Chain A
Amino acid sequence: MTDAEQQDQGPHPAQHWFDDDAGPVVRPYAMTRGRTSAATRHRLDLIAVVVPEPAADDPGRDQTLSPEHVEIVERCSDTPQSIAELAAGLDLPVGVVRVLVGDLVEDELVHVTRPVPPAELPDVSILREVINGLRAL
């Protein structure tokens, strides 16, 4: 929670909006070394889940990887995590995590689950399970 949010209770004057949800970029982007996400790479959904491949256990594979790449694999090795969770956990912008995960996919060290296809609702049986699951919380 930001200071602005903690201080303000109730309705907020319009000028506070900018300060809460937006801010200047101050982080270095050295870790992507200026690389771009290749055009062929699909844009990874925030809830796409990163799953390490068995090859990620192979010590010979990771000479060129940055510590951030390694940390992503390690964070997912017990419980696969979503792009959103990785970004929050590593304290990196989502765009940077997308590039790093894209590298790992290319190196076949991880694969990424496909979320429900765009423009399609999850099927009825899943929705029923979600309702039951929520009620049981």
Chain B
Amino acid sequence: MAFGRSSRKKPLVEPVTLKILVAGGFGVGKTTLVGAVSEIRPLRTEEILSEAGRPVDDLHGVENKSTTTVAMDFGRITLRDDLVLYLFGTPGQDRFWFLWDELAQGALGAVVLADTRRLEESFAAIDYFERRGIPFTVAVNCFEGAQRFPAESVRGALDLDPEVELLMCDARDRESVKNVLVAVVEHALVLADRPAAPVPT
């Protein structure tokens, strides 16, 4: 049994891969946002969790343990054949924070998706990215029927640093989501250009 039909015709491209996280409470529109810009339908991956709620690396005997899985949705944007951006929609609950630790490693930045009817669900994500110095942008998903608030009052309610951008968006709209992603990367660019500041521990 051979792999592939014949010898390779062209050398394989090994893309540089990058990731942006999309965090926010359940139902806030993370998967919708990913789907609006992804070239593939959002896919799901599952991590196996141990009883303690940590990801399981060691699969030995896992079938006998009481475990659960956590699903993450992700999408892909091929910017060039050697530059690929992945978007990961991350469950916003506290009990999944170990996942964020893994996902946040090497992440280019994050979108915190917020709904003005339940802003408090974004607090944990904002705290998380602030504390780790991960560049993020807050995107308010403007559901119809939700009361519109001026950006300034939302900023105030979220206690955002002045340099963190807050945008209104429609998670279903490709152009709107593109703007949000550009804002995240521009913010990352500003931070990358700046001499490293000591990170508070």
Contact = CB atoms under 8 A, between A and B. Distances in A.
Do chains A and B stick together as partners?
yes
A62 interface: yes
A76 to B, nearest CB: 8
Contacts of A117: 106
Contact of B63 (A29, A48, A74): A29
Interface in A1-43: 1, 5, 8, 10-12, 16-17, 20-25, 28-29, 32, 34-37, 43
A24 B66 CA distance: 8
Interface string B167-190: 000000010001001100110110
A135 to B, nearest CB: 6
Quick one: which of B26, B37, B55 has the most chain A CB within 10 A? B26
B111 to A, nearest CB: 13
A134 B79 contact: yes
Contact of A127 (B59, B71, B189): B189
A47 B174 CA distance: 23
A70 to B, nearest CB: 7
Given A95-B48, A121-B188, A137-B178, A70 B3 contact: yes
Interface string A98-136: 110000000001000101111111111011111101110
Interface string B1-18: 111100110001111111
A20 B3 CA distance: 38
B100 interface: no
B3 A113 contact: no
Contacts of A120: 106
Nearest to A74: B3
Given A49-B15, A94-B45, A131 B69 contact: no
Given A17-B93, A36-B60, A37-B58, A94 B2 contact: no
A23 B68 CA distance: 5
A59 B68 contact: no
A49 B185 contact: no
Interface of B is mostly: mixed
A89 B17 CA distance: 18
Contact of B26 (A12, A62, A115): A12
Given A88-B45, A93-B48, A131 B189 contact: yes
A26 B5 CA distance: 35
Contact of B106 (A16, A80, A99, A115): A115
A11 B63 contact: no
Contacts of B143: 10
B8 to A, nearest CB: 7
Contacts of B105: 45, 118-119
A115 to B, nearest CB: 5
A49 B14 contact: yes
A68 B185 CA distance: 37
Contact of A80 (B12, B59, B61, B91): B12
A87 B71 CA distance: 11
Given A8-B27, A10-B145, 6 more contacts: A24-B67, A24-B69, A29-B59, A47-B18, A82-B86, A98-B57
